[in-house]
Amino acid sequence: MSCMSVLDTRGRPLRDLRISVTDRCNFRCRYCMPREVFGPDYAFLDRAEILTYEEIVRLAGVFVGLGVEKIRLTGGEPLVRRGLHELIGQLTAIEGLRDVTLTTNGSLLRAQAAGLKAAGLSRITVSLDSLDDGVFQRMNDTGVPVATILDGIAAASEAGLHPIKINAVVQRGVNDHTIVDLARHFRGTGQIVRFIEFMDVGSTNGWRMDDVVTASEIVERIGAEFPLEPAEANYRGEVAQRWRYQDGGGEIGVIASISQPFCGDCTRARLSAEGELYTCLFAARGRDFRAALRGGATDAELRDAVGAVWRLREDRYSEVRTEETAGLRKVEMSHIGG
């Protein structure tokens, strides 16, 4: 496949595509899908509104032709969508695509890990905000215990989905007192915990700056127990800052979207389950591509349309964030997968 590189107004290339395969989730994490908003009466997308696997693969091929090298499947919770291994198999067949990865809450991983690996999934990231059952169950608001997620991580490891990354969103007064325990548990396992500053994604998670535990504070707390030193980034645009244990026990990552914005190196686009393209995690609206797909657009027309959106991109929300802009209406994290 011939590939052309496309740059936005700030000279950032299009390299990473995050594809939400569903807007549904079996968790109700308060920082993402609070139950009082996403309750029994919430109107999720109908099946006919969601892109088919064939449509996703076709669009993915268009993005790869514009320079995308890595695709991450997200949700909602991607493992609640049936036959996900079929999509992975089709994506990995796209010439020029280097990496297909997945982010999951891990609750359904035991049953699916081997099939995901066999289909060609490269790596997996599992969300786990605390090892304390009480804290974790209050955060996921569904009663799923930590043991279920740890078993899912074990299944992914047994299937050969390495390296496994563990994502933990840190909120002051909620789970910040458990971050050292989380670091301790995964230290020396080869699995990398990435601590994420609580972000103002969407408009329903009750974000306040006072609830943010900064990356520097996270590193300081963990480093007081297990001395750390900074490590080089693996590649341009890597989201997490890497910190290595001085005794060789592995590493952690911190994602500092609030305190140390990384907009200048952002190479990510996001495709929602119904085919809307978002050029920023904090965007208010996306560009509809489902209508073009179902209306007979050619691959060349789709490529030109995607390229036009990216070339006009000037997003740098985290660099210009204030308490006022944080309150503006934005797309929900559960809709575009974080």
The DSSP line for 141-173 is SS---HHHHHHHHHHHHHHT--SEEEEEEEBTT
- The DSSP element (H or E) to which 177 belongs, if any, is none
* pLDDT tens, position by position, 168-190: 999 999 999 999 999 999 999 99
CA dist 276 → 135, 191, 251, 286, 312 (Å): 34, 33, 36, 5, 16
**Model confidence at 245: pLDDT above 80:** yes
Asked if 59 and 81 touch (Cβ cutoff 8 Å), the reply is no
- pLDDT on residue 329: 60
Q: What's the pTM value of the predicted model, to 2 decimals?
A: 0.93
Going by C-alpha positions, the residue among 78, 66, 178, 59 that lies closest to residue 119 is 78
- pLDDT on residue 31: 84
Average pLDDT, the chain: 91
- pLDDT on residue 327: 57
Q: What share of the chain is helix, strand, coil (3-state, %, to 5)?
A: 35, 20, 45
- What pairs with residue 196 in β-bridges? 169, 255
Burial code of 121-140, b = ≥16 C-beta within 10 A, e = fewer?
bbbbbbbbbbbbeebbebbb
Instruction: Quote the tokens at residue 290.
Output: 């489902």
- pLDDT on residue 268: 93
- pLDDT on residue 316: 80
Rg (alpha carbons) of the chain, rounded to whole number: 19
* pLDDT tens, position by position, 89-136: 999 999 999 999 999 999 999 999 999 999 999 999 999 999 999 999
* pLDDT tens, position by position, 256-267: 888 877 788 899
Asked if 57 and 94 touch (Cβ cutoff 8 Å), the reply is yes
3-state secondary structure of 207: coil
Domain 16-336: top CATH class = alpha beta
CA dist 103 → 34, 127, 163 (Å): 19, 7, 13
Q: What average pLDDT does this structure show over 221-246?
A: 91
Handedness of CA 250, 255, 256, 262 (dihedral sign): positive
Q: What percent of the chain has pLDDT over 90?
A: 77
- pLDDT on residue 255: 92
**Model confidence at 322: pLDDT above 60:** no
**Model confidence at 337: pLDDT above 60:** yes
pLDDT: which is higher, 257 or 68:
68
Instruction: Quote the tokens at residue 261.
Output: 């914005």
**Model confidence at 226: pLDDT above 60:** yes
- pLDDT on residue 75: 93
